[in-house]
Amino acid sequence: MRRLLAYALLLAACSGEREPPAPIAGRLAGTGSEGRYRFELVLDPPAPRLGERFAVETRIYDASGAPADAEVRLDATMPEHGHGMQTVPSHERVGIGTWRSEGLRFHMPGSWAFQIHAKGTAAEDTIDLRFEQPPR
Ligand SMILES: [Cu+2]
């Protein structure tokens, strides 16, 4: 029983949802829901201003920590409001496991979620990463 509890705690500690937010401004990271890829987002600029366009660089890593050559799609919504962005971002591969999405814009302050999907030759994975847009 004690061993089972320890295992459950370990699983919770490893899941992307329970991962604490990265302490570096403009960086979001976590493990996908399937546990296949690790996702790292770098916002450009690090603190997007309300109503202004920004870009996101997405880096995908496999279980060994190596860049994963996956096709990346990224979108953002406000899940509690049931709406997405008013812009349609473009996505461009800029290196192995690295994609740049441009033309994102958060038109409302509050809790946004980046939805990222990565499809590689051997694996597929998705993640939701929360971002709090300040009212400025
Ligand atoms: Cu909203």
Domains in the chain: boundaries: 2-133
pTM of the complete model: 0.81
Q: How far does the centroid of ligand 1 lie from the alpha carbon of residue 18, in Å?
A: 24
Task: Examine the pLDDT at 15 and tell me if it is beyond 80.
Answer: no
What rounded mean pLDDT belongs to the chain?
Answer: 89
Q: Answer whether CATH 3.40.50.980 is correct for domain 2-133.
A: no
Q: How far does the centroid of ligand 1 lie from the alpha carbon of residue 88, in Å?
A: 16
Looking from the CA of 57 toward its CB, the CA atoms found within 13 Å total: 12
**Number of helical H runs and strand E runs in the chain:** 1, 9
Looking from the CA of 89 toward its CB, the CA atoms found within 13 Å total: 26
Q: What are the tokens at 132?
A: 């709090």
Q: How far does the centroid of ligand 1 lie from the alpha carbon of residue 20, in Å?
A: 24
The mean pLDDT value for 113-132 works out to 96
pLDDT band at 6 (very low <50, low <70, confident <90, very high): low
Q: How far does the centroid of ligand 1 lie from the alpha carbon of residue 81, in Å?
A: 5
